[in-house]
Amino acid sequence: MNSPSSVSATGNAARPFWVPDGVSLDSLPEELKIAIAGIVNPAYQELVVSASSGLEQSTGLTIVHLLWLEILDQIELGKGVAQNSDAPDTLKHRETMIARHLRLVGAKNKTSNFLLRLHDFRQKWGSFPAQQDPLKGSIDRQKQE
């Protein structure tokens, strides 16, 4: 897939769609650059670039984006461990972050399961059945009359 976007922590590739223009990927924290190189880039290659259809590419891109958000949440949650504060505001924020993280993981799992079902369907049946053009039948009937 010739994509206008590929995830990279170096300046030699296009930006991910979800990273604002003002953010320099090279200035990201080291732990995030490691996660991009070790997790996000390989997932992008496998799930988006190597996908065989537009639906698979779109689903793969959603999974990669959710991975990105999941990693950002994990880093943020890790910072909270270092703060070790029992203040009610801090605890409430931490609970909110954990709930958000669990929703992200759930969404990633649902999307991944859809992609797996799509792959299973394609292996079993080859491709989606040809869809009938709903207007073609009515046009053909009009021609016969």
pLDDT in tens, 63-96: 999 999 999 999 988 887 777 667 777 788 889 9
User: Domain limits at 41?
Assistant: 25-128
Choose between 109 and 16: higher pLDDT: 109
Give buried/exposed letters for 17-49 (b at 16+ CB in 10 A, else e): eeeeeeeebeeeeeebbebbeebbbebbeebbe
Q: Is residue 100 part of a domain?
A: yes
Residue 1: which pLDDT band, with cuts at 50, 70 and 90? very low
How many domains does one find in the chain?
1
Model pLDDT, residue 67: 95
Q: Is residue 15 part of a domain?
A: no
Q: Is residue 90 part of a domain?
A: yes
Q: Rounded to an integer, what is the distance from CA 64 to the centroid of its chain?
A: 3
Choose between 62 and 87: higher pLDDT: 62
Q: Is residue 135 part of a domain?
A: no
- Check residue 52 and give left, alpha or beta (phi > 0: left; psi -120 to 50: alpha): alpha
Residue 135: which pLDDT band, with cuts at 50, 70 and 90? low
Q: 67 to each of 23, 30, 96, 106, 129, how far by Cα in Å? A: 18, 17, 19, 11, 32
Q: What confidence tens digit (pLDDT) does each residue in 26-49 have?
A: 888 899 889 988 999 899 999 999
pLDDT higher than 60, residue 3: no
Q: Is residue 122 part of a domain?
A: yes
pLDDT higher than 90, residue 110: yes
Q: Is residue 56 part of a domain?
A: yes
Q: Is residue 10 part of a domain?
A: no
